[in-house]
Structure 1
Amino acid sequence: MSSLRIPLRATARSGPAGRSRRGATGPSGWPFALPFLAFFVLFLVVPIGYGLWMSFTDSSLTGHGDGTFAGLDNYAEALTDPEVWTSLGNTVWFTVLTSVPLVVVALVMALLVHTGMPGQWVWRLSFFAPYLLPVAVVTQVWSLLFQPDLGLFNSMLRAVGIDGIGWLVDDKYAMWSIALLTLWWTVGFNFLLYLAALQAVPDHLYEAAAIDGAGAWRRLWSITLPQLRRTTALIAVLQVLASLKVFDQIYLLTKGGPNNSTKPILEYIYDTGFANYRLGYASAVSYVFFAIVVILSIAQLKIFSRRED
């Protein structure tokens, strides 16, 4: 009786030529990463390092005292400068006015579109289109709307018997007006993030809740909002950071006025460095602001991570 022999293929070979595939290493990926790393170092790391060194000097655009080491004098002046704290207060006030509405309004808009409103593509386009506009166009259009005599807003108020408001020239209304503009302009980005998150919620959760007799509000509070918790945390962190960095729309509309009631910290840094020519002091103020932003970001992340746990 003949025996059936089945050749066994070696799973691993000894020696350099027969090295196992599991232990083999592929080609290095550094050549592919070097172009990005070069740009990263050249346009981010080097400017950050140079700006940090400049914050300890009396550097100026005029060349007077350029490169003279000043130690911590710039930071000491920044911490005692009342204009720094005033502009920081304006920045925080703008962040408070815009962050919560930009999260809540975006969520409401995404829920309305996701529930199956007729003509969804029209609503999606109208909600997101303002975000695509450049800041120069947005401020030009809204400056016409805010115009005291012929602006649309004051014309509507006068039509119902209310006196016109100095939207951009009154201390009481200037920051509110800029916050309203920012809400209309940037809410589309948060709306898009919420809409993508809503589309990722599993349908079987809603089906099971409907079988159990849960109504629309119960499904919203028990399924939708808990499923959007991570997205809400992400949007909240990004929105606070974006609001703290406000500059463009305020500079184009009011240039920090009236009476510096809308001047944010970034505009103060810009004016100090490029209008007053004090680059060293402006660098120190910018790094103080950078430290504040980092601390707030870490605090936000810790708060949301604890809530998630």
Structure 2
Amino acid sequence: MAESYSRSRWTNGLFTLPYLLVFSALLVFPLGWSIWLSLHKVDLFGPGRFVGLANYARVLSDPIFLQALWNTIVFVALSVPALVALGLFLALALNRTTRLTAFLRGVFFSSSVLSVTIVTLLWRFVFIPGDGLLAVVMRQIGIEPANFLSTSGWSLFAVGVATVWWCLGLPMMLFLAALQQIPDDLYEAAALDNASPWRVLVKITLPSIARTIMLVAVIQIVLQFQLFGQAQLMTKGGPNGTSRPLVMYIYETGFVRWDVGKGAAASQFLFLIILCAALIQYVVSMRKQES
């Protein structure tokens, strides 16, 4: 009997084998290879030599890396709350069963299916100095427009606006799905108690979708820490690196300057940041399940 159970378990395990092979080929092996590269002084044209943690020390002492890390942190700190707040606002506003709301859902979600090239091209027409849409509008109201794509402080803001517009559809749809899972009995009880809309929002709606809010926040943190295409195509990291994100630093280090070991070490710092965000979400969700 025990032998039959063991054989059945191994047979069932074969169904996971294709996934495990793909997972190992696309995630486990590249991660292990990246760690190996980070411990070696290596380029794309030689075998390299073992240097231990020297690449990590070089990365941490590089002011360009520290600037790129700070740019990424600022970008995430500004874009993620905006995505969560705007996504929740749109979900609350469109949580109706009418043709108009269905149409508007499609309109707001449509930007998410565009490629990064199309998104950046559209927003370059908005932010481009002189004849850009924003410059024309600002002149019409008597304000001298700034050069948003090549001015320190504004360049990262322009990338952030384009990113929020591009990524807003996913948070909205996740919040809509969560809102539609709230039992109608709760709202009926609140209506019998003559609860105000604000009290219903604070006491019923937000607590009911708290896990979804945390999930959306973590997903967006992970995604926005990987910022690359928008900054590369809109500002090229300028001016003076003020809009260079961490992934662009890794790309320039490994594939422009051919310092693959240093680039791999920098990528491990990015991996640790994303891993910490995922662990925070896991710990918070486990605590809520226990409570």
Q: TM-score range by the shorter chain?
A: over 0.9
Partner of 1:208: 189
Amino acid at match of 2:57: A
**Structure 2: gaps spanning 5 or more residues:** none
Give 1:153 shift. 0.5
Aligned residue among 19, 23, 44 for 1:36: 19
What's the % identity of the aligned pairs? 36
Report how far residue 43 of structure 1 moved.
2.2
Name the CA distance, whole Å, in 2 between partners of 1:143 and 1:230. Answer: 36
Q: Does 1:253 align with 2:239?
A: no
For residues 22 and 45 of structure 1, do their structure 2 counterparts lie closer, same or farther at Cα, with a shift above 3 Å needed?
Answer: closer
1:57 matched residue in structure 2: 40
Take 1:88 and 1:27, find their aligned partners in 2: how far apart are those partners? 46
Match of 1:242 among 180, 204, 223: 223
Question: Once the 2 structures are TM-superposed, how far is the Cα of residue 295 of structure 1 from its aligned partner?
Answer: 2.8
Query: How far did 1:31 drift?
Result: 2.6
**TM-score normalised over the length of structure 1:** 0.87
Aligned equivalent of 1:271: 252
Partner of 1:48: 31
Of residues 113, 120, 132, the one that matches 2:113 is 132
How big is the shift at 1:33?
A: 1.9
User: 1:254–1:262: 8 Å Cα contact kept in structure 2?
Assistant: yes
**CA-CA distance at 1:36 after TM superposition:** 1.8
After superposition, the Cα gap between the structure-2 partners of 1:89 and 1:210, relative to the gap in structure 1 and judged at 3 Å, is same
Structure 1 pair 292–159 and aligned structure 2 pair: CA distance change class (3 A): same
Residues 1:51 and 1:204: Cα distance change in structure 2 (over 3 Å):
same
CA shift at 1:164, angstroms? 1.5
Larger CA Rg, structure 1 vs 2: 1
Give the aligned partner of residue 291 of structure 1. 272
Shift of the alpha carbon at 1:24? 9.9
Once the two structures are TM-superposed, the CA of residue 220 in structure 1 deviates from its matched residue by 1.3
Aligned-partner Cα distance in 1 for 2:10–2:271? 39
Q: Are 2:110 and 2:169, in contact at CA under 8 Å, matched by a contact in 1? A: yes
Superposed, which structure 2 residues align to 1:152-231 within 5 Å? 152-231=133-212
- How many residues are aligned here? 289
Is contact 2:68-2:246 (8 Å) kept? yes
**Alignment partners' CA distance in 1, 2:159 and 2:62:** 26
Q: TM-score, normalised by structure 2?
A: 0.92
Aligned residue type for 2:109: F
CA contact (8 A) 2:237 2:245 kept: yes
Shift of 1:44: 1.8
Q: 1:151 to 1:205 in 2, by over 3 A?
A: same
Partner Cα separation in structure 2 for residue 255 and residue 178 of structure 1: 11
Q: Is the 8 A contact 1:56 1:70 kept in 2?
A: yes
2:215–2:281 contact (8 Å) kept in structure 1: no
The 1:287–1:24 alpha-carbon spacing in structure 2 relative to 1, beyond 3 Å, is closer
Question: Which AA in structure 2 matches 1:191?
Answer: M
Matches within 5 A, 1:117-128: 119-128=100-109
Cα gap change, 1:305 to 1:162, in 2 (>3 Å): farther
Point out the structure with the larger helix share: 2
Deviates more, 1:85-94 or 1:299-308: 299-308
Residue 59 of structure 2 aligns with which residue?
78
Moved more, 54-63 or 154-163: 54-63
Match of 1:105 in 2: 86
Deviation at 1:139, TM superposition (A): 0.5
